[in-house]
């Protein structure tokens, strides 16, 4: 009897130990990131309906093909590193997608970040060489005062050669040009609908001053995130020896940055008009290096967002509901400023 009791106690102890180990293992298991659910990958340019290329031309290749190749490789690498993230392609084939439709696709799919792949180009450089001087005869004055003179005129040889421009640069929507971005947010409000949208943002009229201010707040949020990710991308390019042409702001001219209601970057991966760069952009090694840099930057960006989430900053979509109080406060403050300004005008 004692032996059976002893064995039962030992068995129970082992069972509880295993259960405790399994439970502890589950508790310590790393959580999947939840700050990014959907990534939009946009391969720049594409073949037109008439069969012509839309992008820049190098000495033997086209931007359209390079963008698609890098984008496909990037998607493959994202799937490997972030299997939980959904990826949406705006140009899944070599055929062109209109810029308007690219933004529509991004907004309809509620993307958390928009990554646009492009290849840069620079015009040929004009060169000149002084060959010597030529004596030229000319006359001044009239009648009896007319005199013959000569002068030495420089003679040049002119030609053009491919630009030496090289390196990478990443574009974001300009912080000083917010009007069109805010307009895009309002115009795409229906596309931005999320699950439990009213609970997160409240029922608002897109034409109301409150919604305009909310658009402004989201614009600033997009800018901060876009600039942060762009900087991380450039940092990784620098680490592998690429020439850093910095993060640049564009207020006009890049529709996919202007009309996408999410953090957005356009990465100029290199100059197709520089033969050395063109070879790099077309090589498997070069394309893989570019993808690796973007993937590492994406990992750093996710870690940055998770840290902000842990620190209680109310910016990500997952805790968008807690964003409403601060947005409401900002709205009231803005409207109070407008009202005070109107009163001061009436007094004057």
Q: What's the pLDDT at 20?
A: 46
Higher pLDDT, 173 or 331: 173
CB of 185 closer than 8 Å to CB of 134: no
Q: pTM of the predicted model, to two decimals? A: 0.69
- Between 329 and 264, the more confident residue is 264
The pLDDT mean for the chain works out to: 78
Using a pLDDT cut of 70, give the percent of the chain over it.
66
Most confident listed range (17-21, 30-34, 63-67, 122-126)? 63-67
Sign of CA dihedral 232, 313, 40, 72: positive
What is the mean pLDDT of the segment spanning 308-315? Answer: 69
The confidence score (pLDDT) of residue 11 equals 53
Neighbour count for residue 335 (Cβ, 10 Å):
13
Helix (H) or strand (E) holding 117, with range, is strand 113-120
pLDDT at 299: 97
Token output for 249? 């702001």
The string of DSSP letters for 190-206 reads TTT--TTHHHHH-S--T
Query: Picking from 5-19, 99-113, 247-261, 276-290, which range would have the lowest pLDDT averaged per residue?
Result: 5-19
348 pLDDT higher than 60 = no
- Checking if the pLDDT of 232 tops 90, the result is yes
Residue 73 · residue 41 · CB < 8 Å: no
CA 6 to chain centre: 66
The residue-averaged pLDDT of 258-267 equals: 88
Q: Are 85 and 36 within 8 A, CB to CB?
A: yes
Q: How far is CA 330 from CA 204, 325, 333, in A?
A: 15, 9, 5
What domains sit in the chain, N to C, each tagged with a CATH number? 38-121+165-347 (3.40.630.40), 125-161 (no CATH)
Tell me the mean pLDDT in the region 199-222.
58
**pLDDT category of residue 100 using cuts at 50, 70 and 90:** confident
pLDDT value of residue 167:
96
Question: Comparing 189 with 264, which gets the higher pLDDT?
Answer: 264
What confidence tier does 249 reach under pLDDT thresholds 50, 70, 90?
Answer: confident
pLDDT at res. 105: 94
26-49 pLDDT, tens digit per residue, is 444 455 668 999 999 999 999 999
Position of tokens 């039962």?
8
- In terms of Cα–Cα distance, which of 42, 78, 38 is closest to 267? 42
pLDDT band of residue 173 (cuts 50, 70, 90) is: confident
Q: What average pLDDT does the segment 67-88 reach?
A: 97
Per-residue model confidence (pLDDT) at position 125: 84
Answer whether residue 185 shows pLDDT above 70: no
Q: Is the pLDDT of residue 102 over 50?
A: yes
Tell me if residue 267 falls in helix, strand or coil: strand
- Greatest alpha-carbon span in the chain: 146
DSSP 205: -
What's the confidence (pLDDT) of residue 118? 95
Query: 283-287, long-range: CB within 8 Å, 24+ apart, which pairs?
Result: 287/66, 287/69, 287/70, 287/73
- Tracing tokens 């030495």 back to the chain, one arrives at 152
Share of the chain above pLDDT 90, in %: 47
């Amino acid at each position: 009897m004692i032996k059976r009791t002893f064995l039962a106690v030992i068995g129970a102890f082992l069972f509880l130990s295993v259960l405790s180990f399994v439970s502890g293992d589950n508790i310590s298991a790393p959580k999947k990131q939840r700050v990014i659910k959907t990534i939009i990958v946009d391969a720049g340019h594409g073949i037109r309906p008439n069969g012509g290329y839309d992008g820049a031309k190098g000495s033997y290749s086209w931007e359209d093909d390079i963008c698609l190749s890098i984008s496909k490789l990037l998607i493959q690498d994202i799937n490997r590193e972030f299997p939980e993230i959904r990826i949406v392609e705006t140009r899944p084939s070599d055929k062109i997608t209109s810029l308007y439709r690219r933004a529509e696709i991004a907004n309809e799919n509620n993307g958390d970040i928009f990554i646009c792949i492009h290849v840069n180009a620079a015009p040929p450089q004009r060169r000149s060489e002084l060959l010597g001087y030529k004596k030229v005869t000319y006359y001044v004055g009239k009648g009896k005062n007319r005199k013959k003179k000569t002068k030495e005129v420089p003679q040049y040889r002119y030609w053009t050669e491919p630009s030496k421009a090289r390196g990478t640069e990443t574009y974001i929507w300009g912080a000083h040009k917010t009007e069109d971005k805010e307009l895009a947010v309002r115009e795409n409000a229906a596309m931005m609908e999320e699950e439990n949208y009213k609970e997160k943002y409240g029922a608002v009229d897109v034409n109301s001053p409150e919604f305009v201010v909310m658009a402004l707040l989201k614009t600033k949020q997009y800018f901060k995130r876009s600039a942060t990710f762009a900087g991380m991308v450039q940092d990784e390019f620098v680490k592998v020896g690429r020439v850093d042409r910095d993060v640049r702001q564009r207020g006009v001219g890049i529709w996919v940055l202007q009309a996408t209601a999410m953090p957005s970057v356009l990465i100029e991966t290199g100059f197709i008009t520089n033969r050395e760069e063109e070879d790099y952009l077309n090589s498997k090694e070069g394309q893989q290096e570019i993808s690796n840099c973007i993937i590492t930057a994406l990992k750093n960006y996710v870690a940055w967002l998770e840290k902000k989430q842990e620190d209680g900053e109310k910016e990500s979509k997952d805790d968008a509901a807690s964003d409403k109080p601060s947005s409401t406060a900002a709205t009231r403050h803005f409207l109070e400023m407008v009202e005070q300004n109107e009163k001061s005008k009436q007094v004057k």
